[in-house]
Amino acid sequence: MTVSINTGISLRTLLYSLVIGIALVNFFGASWISVEATRSYLNDQMKSHAQDAATSVGLSISPYMDEENLMVAETMIVAIFDSGYYQKVSLTDVNNNIIMSRENNNIIDGVPLWFINVFELTPPVMSSEVSNGWNVGGTLSFQSHVGASYEKLWQRAINNFLSSLLIAVLSCFIAHFILRSVLTPLAQVEEQAIAVSRKDFTFISDIPTTRELKTVINAMNTMVSNIQASFDLVSKQANKLTHEIFVDDLTQLGNRRAFQSQFTTANNDMQPDDFTTLGLVQLHSLKSINTKLGYKAGDDYVCQAAQLLSEQLTSFNGAKAYRVNGGSFFFTINSVGEDVVKFCENINSEFSTLNSDYYDDGFGKLVAITYNSNEALSDLLIRLDTLLIQESSATSLGGVYCDNNTQTTHSLQEWSKIIDGWLKGNHIEFTFQPVISSIDHSVVHDLESSGSENGDNVLYYELFSQLLNNDEIIANSQLYSMAERTNKSQELDKLVLSKLANLTHLTPQSKIAINLTHQSLHSTEFRHWLTCFIEENKNNLPSLVFEINEEAILAGIDSSIQFIQSAKSLGIEICIDRFGSSFTSFRYLKGLDVDYLKIDGAYIHELELHTENKPFIQAVTQIGHGLGIKILTSHVESLATKQLLVDLHCDGLQGNYIQKTLPLKEGDLDRYLDKDLDRDLTCIYSPMLVSMAENTK
Query: Are both 607 and 479 inside the same structural domain?
Result: yes
Which of these, 306, 305, 336, 331, lies nearest to 319 by C-alpha position?
A: 331
Apex 543 CA angle, 568 and 637, nearest 5: 105
Query: Are both 474 and 367 inside the same structural domain?
Result: no
Confidence of residue 475 (pLDDT cuts 50, 70, 90): low
DSSP line for 576-587:
EEEETTT---GG
More reliable by pLDDT, 540 or 278: 278
* CATH code of the domain covering residue 280: 3.30.70.270
Give yes or no for a contact between 653 and 636, defined as CB atoms under 8 angstroms apart: yes
Domain membership flag for residue 195: no
Report the 3 state secondary structure along 54-70.
Answer: HHHHHHHHHHHCCCCCH
Domain membership flag for residue 360: yes
**Mean pLDDT (the chain, rounded):** 81
Query: Are both 397 and 490 inside the same structural domain?
Result: no
Name the strand (E) or helix (H) holding 516. Answer: strand 511-516
Query: Are both 396 and 432 inside the same structural domain?
Result: no
Main-chain phi, psi angles of 435, to 5 degrees: -110, 110
Which pLDDT score, from 0 to 100, does residue 441 have?
43
Domain membership flag for residue 239: no
Query: Are both 262 and 397 inside the same structural domain?
Result: yes
Which of these, 260, 227, 253, 231, lies nearest to 613 by C-alpha position?
A: 260
* CATH code of the domain covering residue 492: 3.20.20.450
Domain membership flag for residue 180: no
Give yes or no for a contact between 250 and 303, defined as CB atoms under 8 angstroms apart: yes
447, pLDDT greater than 70: no
Host domain of residue 134: 11-169
Confidence of residue 569 (pLDDT cuts 50, 70, 90): very high
Average pLDDT score over residue span 362-373:
89
Which pLDDT score, from 0 to 100, does residue 116 have?
83
Query: Are both 391 and 431 inside the same structural domain?
Result: no
- Other CB atoms within a 10 A radius of the CB of residue 593 amount to 22
Least confident of 69-78, 488-497, 632-641: 69-78
Task: Tell which of 102, 134, 169 closes a domain.
Answer: 169
Least confident of 181-185, 206-210, 312-316, 416-420: 416-420
Which pLDDT score, from 0 to 100, does residue 454 have?
39
Question: Strands 400-401 and 365-371, how do they pair?
Answer: parallel
Task: Tell which of 401, 436, 465 closes a domain.
Answer: 401
Query: Are both 433 and 524 inside the same structural domain?
Result: yes
Cβ neighbours for 530, distance < 8 A, ≥ 6 positions apart: 497, 566, 567, 570
Query: Are both 25 and 132 inside the same structural domain?
Result: yes
Which pLDDT score, from 0 to 100, does residue 409 have?
56
Which of these, 293, 227, 312, lies nearest to 589 by C-alpha position?
A: 227
Domain membership flag for residue 193: no
Name the percent of the chain lying above pLDDT 90. 26
* CATH code of the domain covering residue 149: 3.30.450
Query: Are both 154 and 271 inside the same structural domain?
Result: no
Domain membership flag for residue 6: no
Query: Are both 386 and 503 inside the same structural domain?
Result: no
The total of structural domains in the chain comes to 3
| pTM of the predicted model as reported, rounded to 2 decimal places | 0.70
Give yes or no for a contact between 227 and 201, defined as CB atoms under 8 angstroms apart: yes
Which of these, 227, 237, 219, lies nearest to 195 by C-alpha position?
A: 227
Task: Tell which of 152, 169, 186 closes a domain.
Answer: 169
Domain membership flag for residue 667: yes
281, pLDDT greater than 90: yes
375, pLDDT greater than 60: yes
SS3 of 23, please? helix
214, pLDDT greater than 90: no
Domain membership flag for residue 72: yes
Least confident of 118-122, 384-388, 408-412, 647-651: 408-412
Least confident of 112-126, 434-448, 451-465, 485-499: 434-448
Average pLDDT score over residue span 448-460:
53
Confidence of residue 391 (pLDDT cuts 50, 70, 90): low
Query: Are both 444 and 585 inside the same structural domain?
Result: yes
Give yes or no for a contact between 149 and 45, defined as CB atoms under 8 angstroms apart: yes
Least confident of 13-22, 209-218, 476-485: 476-485
Least confident of 23-27, 410-414, 462-466, 481-485: 410-414
Which of these, 276, 556, 538, 565, lies nearest to 402 by C-alpha position?
A: 276
Query: Are both 377 and 472 inside the same structural domain?
Result: no
Confidence of residue 690 (pLDDT cuts 50, 70, 90): very low
Confidence of residue 240 (pLDDT cuts 50, 70, 90): confident
